[in-house]
Structure 1
Amino acid sequence: MPEPNAPAVHLRDVRLQRGGRTILSGIDLLVPTGSVTAVLGPSGSGKSTLLAALTGELRASQGSVDVFGRPLPQRQRELLETRKSIGVLLQGNGLLTDLTAAENVALPLRMHTKLPAPVIARLVEMKLHAVGLRAAADLYPRELSGGMARRVALARALALDPPLMIYDEPLTGLDPIASGVIMSLIARLNASLGLTSIIVTHHVHETLPVADRALVIADGRIVFSGTPAELQQTTDPLVRQFLDGRPDGPIAFDAPQREVA
């Protein structure tokens, strides 16, 4: 159970490495419970590496990672139990093509609970209704539009009622209308279900309107942390290059990953 009044996520002086190479260093992050936090940055900046640390997939080589006031467990069984409280919307949806929308949403409930079939069916109906797709229950992923498939994946991520939701590039491959639907849905579900949401993305302008806090990752570190309004007003050259989409600036295009001291 979450510790009372604890932040949803708290990282202290975290260093993250892959293959012996430092990807992120000196990461300090506090995500208040009930908030929507946008983790922004250019491609290859380490956003997915940070996500892996939040879910326990990647262990920090330095520092601490707490979720709801408790360190992420080291033992696999305890970690799997903790992960039930973390819903993840994958960038590629991860829907099983031979299962219907309803069957995809039911999968976590069948795997991690002993609920009877009628109860699972009712919960699946409720989750699909929450994302506006109750009528699509019997459709297969190939019969869904990109936006519909993303909403089914969201319903599945919410199946176990996790208090923390992490969205990995939720707008990838979606048109502007579908993107607007998804972002509005994220904000509405966060408020109505009392969730805490972390949106990992490079889609700045679509994400900031629903975010309470924003941070920018670049050059192997957090280069900005504050409110969306403060982010829009920043004059930092590195952050401005990312926000304005400028090809020239401190962030080199297609450059080798830098080693962080």
Structure 2
Amino acid sequence: MSADATPAVRLSGLRLDRGGRTILHDVSLEVPRGSITAVLGPSGSGKSTLLAALTGELPPAAGSVEVFGQRVPRRSRELLELRKSIGVLLQGNGLLTDLTVAENVALPLRTHTRLADPLVRRIVDFKLNAVGLRAAANAYPRELSGGMARRVALARALALDPPLMIYDEPLTGLDPIASGVIMSLIQRLNDTLGLTSIIVTHHVHETLPVTDQAVVIANGGLVFTGTPSELEATTDPLVRQFLRGEPDGPIAFDNTTFNSGTFRAEAA
């Protein structure tokens, strides 16, 4: 297999545990280079746990995770080098409030490179221009709308030119218009920069139009992998329950019971 044919991400027989409990098991998946893959599923299904495995934060209990043909390492130095090739857009943006927009975007460049200041400023201008916010370079995060702050965080995630982008719930807290802007921007950047993108989300209808591959996580594993059109056409009752937002069905949600005067959450 040539380097170009090697998947951007390959998961093989993956099992992920947290606190002595198995969250995901027997997960096998390939993410083609240049594609946009949506990882969908209800809250608490293990989407964020899967993200932690992709970035090396959570080592597999079994199986393997490969990024661009390289198994995700466990040693700190090797893991740091791999993470430079992965951009992550955090759900909460993670912008530093006492830094300007430009300074936030420059932070990865100043932390991980020895580039001269004039070059750093040029790169920051380019990244902000790519997300349509070059004019906001001197503003502070508190002066931005939610959609603008999300785009600044995206510019920062792209600062080191990572070939792989991971978006962790990129539409959380955004109105429909801002959500449309973010999804359109993700698609445009993926195409123009030749990226591979993984979108971890529970926003199905906003995400599917820009994706090449859809994955649904539920009940501790992958319950669907295919194209968006195949997802919409599936008759699988488990997948249909998620897509329709039905409270009753084969997907086991957490329930809450009243016991001895206190509420006790029981994982189904």
Q: TM over 0.5, yes or no?
A: yes
Partner of 1:39: 39
Kindly indicate whether the alpha-carbon contact (under 8 Å) linking 2:39 and 2:200 is maintained by their aligned counterparts in 1.
Answer: yes
Structure 1: which 5+ runs fail to align? none
Partners in 1 of 2:267 and 2:120 — Cα distance?
46
Partner of 1:249: 249
Partner of 1:238: 238
SS of 1:167 mapped into structure 2? strand
The answer to whether structure 1 residue 145 and structure 2 residue 145 are counterparts is: yes
Kindly indicate whether the alpha-carbon contact (under 8 Å) linking 2:4 and 2:33 is maintained by their aligned counterparts in 1.
Answer: no
Partners in 2 of 1:103 and 1:77 — Cα distance?
26
Q: CA deviation at 1:4?
A: 3.9
Cα 1:52–1:25, aligned 2, differ >3 Å: closer, same or farther?
A: same
Kindly indicate whether the alpha-carbon contact (under 8 Å) linking 2:47 and 2:200 is maintained by their aligned counterparts in 1.
Answer: yes
Q: Deviations over 1:115-166 (max 9, x none)?
A: 0000000000000000000000011010000000000000000000000000
Paired residues in the alignment total 257
Partners in 2 of 1:72 and 1:20 — Cα distance?
22
Q: TM-score normalized by structure 2?
A: 0.94
Within-5 A mapping of 1:1-261? 3-255=3-255, 256-257=266-267
- Give the counterpart letter for 1:28 in structure 2: S
Kindly indicate whether the alpha-carbon contact (under 8 Å) linking 2:100 and 2:141 is maintained by their aligned counterparts in 1.
Answer: yes
Partners in 1 of 2:252 and 2:58 — Cα distance?
26
- Give the counterpart letter for 1:41 in structure 2: G
Partner of 2:263: none
SS of 1:22 mapped into structure 2? strand
Q: CA deviation at 1:250?
A: 1.4
Q: Deviations over 1:12-39 (max 9, x none)?
A: 0000000110000000010000000000
- Give the counterpart letter for 1:74 in structure 2: R
Kindly indicate whether the alpha-carbon contact (under 8 Å) linking 2:91 and 2:170 is maintained by their aligned counterparts in 1.
Answer: yes
Structure with more contact order per residue of length (Cα contacts < 8 Å, sep ≥ 6): 1
SS of 1:26 mapped into structure 2? strand
Partners in 1 of 2:242 and 2:97 — Cα distance?
36
- Give the counterpart letter for 2:41 in structure 1: G
Kindly indicate whether the alpha-carbon contact (under 8 Å) linking 1:3 and 1:70 is maintained by their aligned counterparts in 2.
Answer: no
Kindly indicate whether the alpha-carbon contact (under 8 Å) linking 2:93 and 2:150 is maintained by their aligned counterparts in 1.
Answer: yes
Q: CA deviation at 1:253?
A: 3.4
Q: CA deviation at 1:107?
A: 0.1
Partners in 2 of 1:189 and 1:257 — Cα distance?
39
Structure 2: which 5+ runs fail to align? 256-265
SS of 1:250 mapped into structure 2? coil
Q: CA deviation at 1:252?
A: 3.3
Partners in 1 of 2:112 and 2:183 — Cα distance?
28
Partners in 2 of 1:142 and 1:234 — Cα distance?
44
Q: Percent identity?
A: 76
Partners in 1 of 2:232 and 2:35 — Cα distance?
19
SS of 1:39 mapped into structure 2? strand
Q: TM-score normalized by structure 1?
A: 0.97
Kindly indicate whether the alpha-carbon contact (under 8 Å) linking 1:12 and 1:27 is maintained by their aligned counterparts in 2.
Answer: yes
- Give the counterpart letter for 2:210 in structure 1: V
Q: CA deviation at 1:257?
A: 3.6
Partners in 2 of 1:23 and 1:8 — Cα distance?
23
Partners in 2 of 1:73 and 1:16 — Cα distance?
16
Partners in 1 of 2:225 and 2:20 — Cα distance?
27
Kindly indicate whether the alpha-carbon contact (under 8 Å) linking 2:8 and 2:33 is maintained by their aligned counterparts in 1.
Answer: yes
Partners in 1 of 2:198 and 2:30 — Cα distance?
11
SS of 1:160 mapped into structure 2? coil
